[in-house]
């Protein structure tokens, strides 16, 4: 059979691009690395296009190439995690933060990456379950081989035989790796204190909670903010290793932070990441300066309260989330019309996309 024409290969790669990128993200725990690795996947697919003997098997062929590129990358990379998996919580919530470590922690991925991707009926995990931050973090504790086996079987929906072939393993070895991987991930998720004790609020209840949370930030209302926190709330701030556990210490951390803010200094706007509620935080360090993206924040909800705040201080994520890296001065020109800063920020973001 002649090799695929370049144009057909490009079309096929484009069809599966988003789900392959998600596979890279789950394997590596980094949205930035996932984009970089996907470029190498495209190069290897082009170089080995003669090996695709049946175009109806193109999805399995692309996943095999993608998985092996990720496995090669993992040989030279550190295992990523979440801050509370790496060190104890700070004993002094007002102490100086530890220096950042940009290769240590799992990164978020935008919900826009789900476009065109769908859950396989044979998969054990639904699409959104397979990108939750806790799940992606749990994957990083597996060996690379176990990680690949679990993802191909339980997320991508490969059969045992397809998985063994993709990883060049015997069927018994692949099944053994899957058994160990499932047990390890389920144990980690079962002991995640931020996992819902009962289903998180949905629909109007969840929306109301998130609106009050967002308003507390944008109105610098620390009392409203504190009232939304769960007793077991955790705050992390990757790439900074420091994290804060429990409501008393979180309150002690956030009170001086809120008190130091001048009106209009920062604004939080809704976004979406890892199938979870998320917000983009813009801040101007001085009057007259533009508001620049400072962080992407994900929240976890449990028992109708905020139990997890993962504040990723990674402004380089702007392009992945299709957000402007900075906003014009929100309080110049028509900004004196009395609209809240959130409305002004949303309007400014829309202007950047025209």
Annotated domain spans of the chain = 6-77+108-190, 203-352
Look up residue 125 and give its two tokens.
Answer: 């995990």
Per-residue pLDDT of the chain (354 residues; tens, 9 = 90+): 556 677 878 888 889 999 999 999 999 999 999 999 999 999 998 898 888 877 888 999 999 999 999 999 999 999 999 999 999 999 998 888 889 998 999 999 999 988 666 555 555 666 567 788 999 999 999 999 999 999 999 999 999 999 999 999 999 999 999 999 999 999 998 877 555 444 455 678 899 999 999 999 999 999 999 999 999 999 999 999 999 999 999 999 999 999 988 877 889 999 999 989 999 999 988 777 888 999 999 999 999 999 999 999 999 999 999 999 998 766 554 444 445 556 655 565 566 665
In this prediction, residue 10 carries a pLDDT of 85
With a CB cutoff of 8 Å and minimum separation 6, the contacts of 29 are 80, 106, 107, 136, 137, 139, 140
Residue 107 phi, psi (nearest 5): -105, 160
Beta pairing, strands 305-312 & 276-283: unpaired
Burial degree of 182 (CB within 10 A; 0-12, 13-18, 19+): middle
The residue with tokens 């929906």 is 157
Is-contact 284 246, C-beta < 8 A? no
E strands, 177-275, are 229-237, 240-245, 266-273
Topology, domain 203-352: Nuclear Transport Factor 2; Chain: A, (3.10.450)
| Cα 329 to Cα 6: distance, rounded to the nearest angstrom | 47
The residue with tokens 């003997």 is 53
Look up residue 234 and give its two tokens.
Answer: 């955790």
Is-contact 292 83, C-beta < 8 A? no
- Helix, strand or coil for residue 117? coil
In this prediction, residue 57 carries a pLDDT of 87
In this prediction, residue 13 carries a pLDDT of 87
In this prediction, residue 56 carries a pLDDT of 83
In this prediction, residue 124 carries a pLDDT of 60
Quickly list H helices, the chain.
Answer: 6-28, 31-47, 58-74, 83-86, 133-139, 144-150, 160-167, 171-190, 203-218, 222-226, 247-259, 341-352
Structural class in CATH, domain 6-77+108-190: mainly alpha
Residue 310 phi, psi (nearest 5): -110, 105
The residue with tokens 């001085």 is 286
* pTM: predicted TM-score of the whole model, two decimal places: 0.88
| Cα 110 to Cα 269: distance, rounded to the nearest angstrom | 14
Burial degree of 100 (CB within 10 A; 0-12, 13-18, 19+): middle
With a CB cutoff of 8 Å and minimum separation 6, the contacts of 207 are none
Of residues 111, 152, 145, the one with CA closest to residue 128: 111
In this prediction, residue 50 carries a pLDDT of 83
């Amino acid at each position: 059979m002649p090799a695929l024409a370049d144009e057909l290969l490009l079309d096929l790669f484009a069809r599966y691009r988003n789900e392959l990128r998600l596979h890279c993200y789950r394997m590596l725990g980094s949205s930035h690395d996932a984009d970089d690795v996907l470029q190498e996947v495209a190069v290897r697919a082009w170089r080995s296009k003669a090996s695709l003997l049946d175009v109806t098997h193109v999805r399995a062929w692309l996943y095999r190439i993608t998985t092996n590129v990720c496995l090669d990358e993992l040989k030279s990379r550190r295992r990523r995690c979440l801050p509370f998996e790496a060190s104890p919580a700070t004993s002094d919530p007002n102490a100086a933060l530890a220096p950042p470590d940009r290769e240590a922690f799992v990164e978020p991925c935008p919900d826009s990456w789900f476009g065109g991707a769908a859950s396989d009926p044979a998969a054990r995990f639904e699409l959104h379950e397979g990108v939750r931050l806790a799940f992606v973090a749990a994957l990083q504790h597996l060996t690379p081989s176990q990680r690949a086996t679990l993802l191909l079987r339980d997320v991508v929906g490969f059969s045992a035989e397809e998985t063994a072939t993709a990883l060049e393993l015997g069927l018994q070895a692949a099944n053994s790796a899957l058994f160990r991987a499932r047990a390890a991930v389920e144990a980690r998720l079962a002991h995640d204190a931020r996992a819902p004790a009962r289903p998180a609020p949905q629909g109007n209840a969840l929306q109301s909670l998130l609106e009050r949370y967002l308003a507390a930030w944008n109105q610098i209302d620390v009392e409203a903010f504190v009232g939304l926190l769960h007793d077991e709330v955790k705050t992390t701030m990757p790439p900074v290793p420091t994290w804060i556990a429990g409501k008393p210490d979180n309150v002690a951390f956030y009170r001086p932070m809120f008190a130091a803010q001048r009106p209009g200094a920062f604004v939080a706007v809704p976004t979406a990441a890892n199938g979870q509620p998320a917000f983009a935080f813009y801040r101007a360090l001085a009057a007259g300066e533009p508001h620049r993206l400072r962080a992407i924040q994900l929240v976890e909800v449990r028992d109708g309260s905020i139990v997890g705040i993962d504040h990723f201080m990674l402004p380089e994520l702007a392009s992945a989330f299709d957000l402007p890296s900075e906003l014009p001065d929100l309080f110049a020109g028509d900004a004196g019309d009395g609209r809240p800063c959130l409305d002004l920020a949303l309007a400014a973001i829309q202007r950047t996309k025209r």
